[in-house]
Structure 1
Amino acid sequence: MAASAGIGSAVVWHWRGRDVVVGTTRLGSGPRALLLPALSSISTRAEMAPLAARLEGRFTALTVDWPGFGAAPKPPVAWSPEALGDFLRFALDAVAPEPALVVAAGHAAGYLLAEAAARPVPGRRLVLLAPTWRGPLPTMLKRRPAWLGRLARAADVPGLGAALYRLNVNPAMVRAMARAHVYSDPAWLTPERAAGKRGVTGAKGARHAAVRFVTGQLDPFADRAGFIAAAEALREPALVIYGADAPPKSRAEMEALSAVPGIATRVLPRGKLSLHEEFPDAVAAAILEGTAEPA
């Protein structure tokens, strides 16, 4: 099934005296569904397009880029969890007001979990796709040393920051990262798709958010306890979907979340961190089944 192009536009979000332009896409008709892509060096709202195309029969699917991510030029902002949390509230209030459904992938799911726990909305349904809360380097190190913060701040230094960023997004690193953690089938990342992912990394100003994500400075929670506490505080129906191929350390967090009473879970036979992009049919089917109104 080919993804429909949808209607692309942009919105302006005001943050601490700056006007930040972020891209949006609208597809379908019916109750609103807000689709939030993951946070990563290669993530944009385009990764949600195959899923949006499969939801458009029931929903008006609205996708939005996160500030600091996406393919458009970005301002040199020291992005923080506070900023992204504020943007999520803007997206829920202004981009897709009163959505019936919110679907969030990766770290976006962590932010949605925190927001929904603090500001529940009756009648809204949540879907968390391969939800994560801890960035790649803290996950790999199993701790959060102080030098990660210094490394993130170094990304803002002209020259030095660009060099650090290139180490993280060179073609070999992107390919290795995608095959190890993002996609189940190495063949899925064709040369054309890989070129598109590398194009995202070349956007002006991309390093400021990307390096902070990798170093854990954009983690929505400080530890698993906070992640689980937010899930326990939910007052809205929540469905967790992840794949059997999820990386072991990330899967352990997904399993801990799934063990929270009241959280519904669907484990797909295939899928890593971008299962919604690689297996949109299976993910859409699980969402539609899990959010169907009782007969």
Structure 2
Amino acid sequence: MTMAFSAISSTTPSFTLSCKKHKSPSSHQVRVSLKPLSFSVKASSTSIGYSSSSPSVADKQSLTLKSNNWQWKFKNNSINIYYEEHGRESLEPPKNILMIPTISDVSTVEEWRSVAQDIVQRTSDVSWRATIVDWPGLGYSDRPKMDYNADVMEEFLVDFINAPDSPLSLSENDLVVFGGGHAATISVRAAKKGLVKPKAIAAVAPTWAGPLPIVFGRDSSMETRYGLLRGTLRAPAVGWMMYNMLVSNEKSIESQYKSHVYANPDNVTAEIINSRYALTKRDGARYAPAAFLTGLLDPVKSREEFLDLFASLDGKIPLLVVSAEGSPKRSKAEMEALKGAKGVNKYVEVPGALLPQEEYPTIVAQELYKFLEEIL
């Protein structure tokens, strides 16, 4: 999820920006304004009470949010990983949902907050607790300069779920995973290997190819260009200059949101743009996005591998695929390939583009909650 790039030289790799407008679904004109919650993201531990007026939930639910940092031990380093826990008071132990943000240059827990709040406050026989976690190198987590790739991200996810000090505090199979974009595919890949054993997985607008590979392919010539661009973005001085020009400016972020991240440009608010722009100014902000843009975070290399991941869980783990009506053409084709595919128990389509869970949270939450009821 980022600006599309065009390679324009056959000798010296260079890249310019271009974007294509995608029309929003005509049957859904929903205005959404995401308001960041009022707490310090670097707080060691914060508990917040909040309320909701949603007609689908009880009028007076005691809801809580706790923000914190978990220390991920990776190659003798300790990396601060930011996460949030959304829940409501209940006499019964809650069941766990892990919500993982879409990997992008502006990836953040904020994209799942409204969905989390919607689900945990619903009254039923089951009490749910939703944990949203930022990837290393993205969102509000630390962003060290290291070699980010799909294996590193998978290792993080496995450790976050399975570590003895994991914030999830799981009993056997007491976890449902909701992932967006690449996060969904990485989760399925980890499950295929048996490294994680969730009760179910919901893949929301799942993707597997980064912005450049999905547009320009992965032949040796393009891989060379990607490597040069990645190296430039990681360089001390010129890297920041290029990153500021391509990604870390309000106009670029607004352009990508209006062209392919959201389906309805009217839903893109100044508040959202300002929030995402602030993320791009964090220390080390360019390292993980440089890997994502150039395909290093891609969990597979082809549609065949993509379909094989989902097929591998057939009869083992229930899988829901939530496709988005207004997704960019190439990404939408990959989502549609999962319709009726082996291993996919249920396939639904919702309005939106690459972030339907943020743009249309009420609709997405409703589909996810139906899935939760079905698997129970």
Q: TM-score, normalised by structure 2?
A: 0.74
Residues 50-100 of structure 1: per-residue CA shift (max 9 Å, x gap):
111012134100010000101354211121111101001012212323543
How big is the shift at 1:294?
Answer: 6.8
* Amino acid across the alignment from 1:267: E
In structure 2, what is the equivalent of residue 290 of structure 1?
371
More helix by percentage: 1
Question: Larger Cα Rg: Structure 1 or Structure 2?
Answer: 2
Answer yes or no: is 1:216 the counterpart of 2:295.
yes
Query: Taking structure 1 as reference, are residues 236 and 73 closer, same or farther at Cα in structure 2, changes over 3 Å only?
Result: closer
Of 62, 81, 103 in structure 1, the residue corresponding to residue 150 of structure 2 is 81
Q: How does 1:1-295 map to 2 (within 5 A)?
A: 4=50, 6-29=65-88, 30-57=94-121, 58-93=127-162, 94-96=166-168, 97=170, 98-119=173-194, 124-144=199-219, 145-146=222-223, 147-169=225-247, 170-234=249-313, 235-263=316-344, 264-268=346-350, 270-293=351-374
The SS at the match of 1:6 is: strand
* Amino acid across the alignment from 1:83: V
How big is the shift at 1:32?
Answer: 0.7
Counterpart CA distance in 2 for 1:293 and 1:232 is 20
Counterpart CA distance in 2 for 1:101 and 1:53 is 16
Q: Are the aligned partners of 2:323 and 2:336 in contact in 1 as well (CA < 8 Å)? A: no
* Amino acid across the alignment from 1:142: G
How big is the shift at 1:282?
Answer: 0.6
Query: Taking structure 1 as reference, are residues 129 and 163 closer, same or farther at Cα in structure 2, changes over 3 Å only?
Result: same
| Structure 2 unmatched ranges of 5 or more | 1-31, 38-49, 51-63, 89-93, 122-126
Query: Taking structure 1 as reference, are residues 108 and 123 closer, same or farther at Cα in structure 2, changes over 3 Å only?
Result: closer
* Amino acid across the alignment from 2:348: R
Counterpart CA distance in 2 for 1:42 and 1:101 is 24
* Amino acid across the alignment from 2:228: R
The SS at the match of 1:95 is: coil
Q: Are the aligned partners of 1:121 and 1:236 in contact in 2 as well (CA < 8 Å)? A: no
How big is the shift at 1:173?
Answer: 1.5
Aligned length: 294
How big is the shift at 1:122?
Answer: 6.2
How big is the shift at 1:163?
Answer: 1.6
Counterpart CA distance in 1 for 2:283 and 2:197 is 40
The SS at the match of 1:257 is: coil
Residues 35-60 of structure 1: per-residue CA shift (max 9 Å, x gap):
00011111111211111101213410
Q: Are the aligned partners of 2:200 and 2:375 in contact in 1 as well (CA < 8 Å)? A: no
Moved over 3 A (4+): 1-5, 120-123
* Amino acid across the alignment from 2:152: A
* Amino acid across the alignment from 2:298: D
Counterpart CA distance in 2 for 1:222 and 1:35 is 24
| Structure 1 unmatched ranges of 5 or more | none
How big is the shift at 1:246?
Answer: 1.2
The SS at the match of 1:126 is: strand
How big is the shift at 1:129?
Answer: 0.4
* Amino acid across the alignment from 2:144: P
Instruction: Say what the alpha-carbon RMSD is for the aligned residues.
Output: 2.0
Q: Are the aligned partners of 2:161 and 2:196 in contact in 1 as well (CA < 8 Å)? A: no
